[in-house]
Structure 1
Amino acid sequence: MKRTHKLAIAFVVLLIILIKFGLGGNQDHIESNQSLTEDKVQVTNQKRISPADKIDLHAYSEYTKESFPKLYEVVGDDGLKKLFQHDMESAYKVAERSDCDRVIYSAYSEKSNYPSKIISFVRCQNGNIFDVSNENVEKR
């Protein structure tokens, strides 16, 4: 028998062995690895959602003297800026929580006692509402 025929027969035998024992036996392992990889991608995608991505672009409105004249009388220009900043920080704190799917509104709460205690209320799309005062976040 010629050398090329022997090599061809050896190749075919090797291919049959690989198919029967190597590749066929690993099919379940390959499918299992695919499933694990898909699960890792889902978990990774969930981790990539930052709190800022969970806040609606229109979740808060800027306070102005014209739109909030009574509040302006109490807090002044600097106070309106502090309240707006507090609303934004409060929305971010609530967006970090797992029990808030998406922040849709954050605003000054009348429970506040400016300047000693600023409270913002934050509403989530799933209906949860939170009162945020400094580091304290309370679910209503």
Structure 2
Amino acid sequence: MEAELLALAATGATTVVQQMATDSWTRVRDRVAAFLARRGGEEDALAGELETSRRELTAALASGEEQTAADVEAEWRVRLRRVLLADPRAAAELRALLDELTPQGNVQRAGDVRNTITGGVQHGPVIQAGNVGPVTLGTPIAPEPPHQEPGT
């Protein structure tokens, strides 16, 4: 059960951080702050902490500071994990909140891959994926016909 709560906390943190960059952030902030306040804390103070995280995330993304962006997500993952471990019944409410905040088909799943390319210009194909099937770059080479002995 603990592993499930940890995964839910990670999904929750990812969703909250992703929502920080959307037009609906104010509504999301208020819903998350209310969720957290029901488990202890002052709702306005929690909303302020979420807003501070959003400013940090926005500044980090604008300047390419990936570590700071990751730290913001990690901070909320830890906070949500603590809430869920202290009150496992909160899991159902968090799941419902995440379902409300995340349109179907846009949920980050465990194992999803996020890649970032940095360091200047890339002079060739770049493939970023979790799973890659057969890939052909350029013109495929035609297979050689089977060798036949003369007179056969």
Q: Which has the higher contact order (CA 8 A, sep 6+)?
A: 2
Q: Could you state the TM-score of these two structures normalised by the residue count of structure 1?
A: 0.27
Q: Could you state the TM-score of these two structures normalised by the residue count of structure 2?
A: 0.25
Structure ranking higher in strand proportion = 1
